[in-house]
Amino acid sequence: MGIKPEYLDKWIAALRSGQFGQGHGLLQDIDGDGYASNAYCCLGVLDTAALGADYEREAMVLDDMETSRTTQSCGLLGSCQDILAHINDKWNYTFGQIADMLDAERESLINLGTFPRDWWEDHKEWVECHGCPVEVALAIRDLEREESANT
């Protein structure tokens, strides 16, 4: 089982709402005084809008693709979180583009908690030419194992 449909719906709506500024490298950026700002990674939007996380003075760094316990508990597999962090932080997709991608892969995200195998295959060349890190390559391998176990 993957992400609950109500979480996915709230997340997609929040990404499209314009209420969240887009940040990079943190679930939620902090300002110079150490307070939470209005700049989020797409996974920070999930935490805040769909799951109710509140970081207050504590921003969470996404170094090495670490995400908060809240995001991990929502049903997204690590491979999906890794690629979303890279799409937000390294490949500079807008929140609108990320929302469109999540919406297009809705069924797989709800049923598997990640993108379907054909998504990975369709994007393999593109991912490699954008400097796919080892973590993502390993996540792809793990995804294939998880999918084969579910069939």
Rg, C-alpha atoms of the chain = 15
**CA–CA separation, 105 vs 135, rounded Å?**
22
DSSP letter string over 24-87? SSBSEEE-TTS-EEEEE-HHHHIIIIIT----TT---B-GGG---HHHHHTT--HHHHHHHHHH
pLDDT of 144: 55
Q: Mean pLDDT throughout 133-147? A: 61
pLDDT of 14: 95
pLDDT at 147 over 60: yes
Asked whether the whole model's pTM tops 0.75, one would answer: no
pLDDT in tens, 23-80: 888 777 766 676 667 888 998 898 888 777 654 434 444 433 345 555 667 788 777 8
pLDDT at 5 over 70: yes
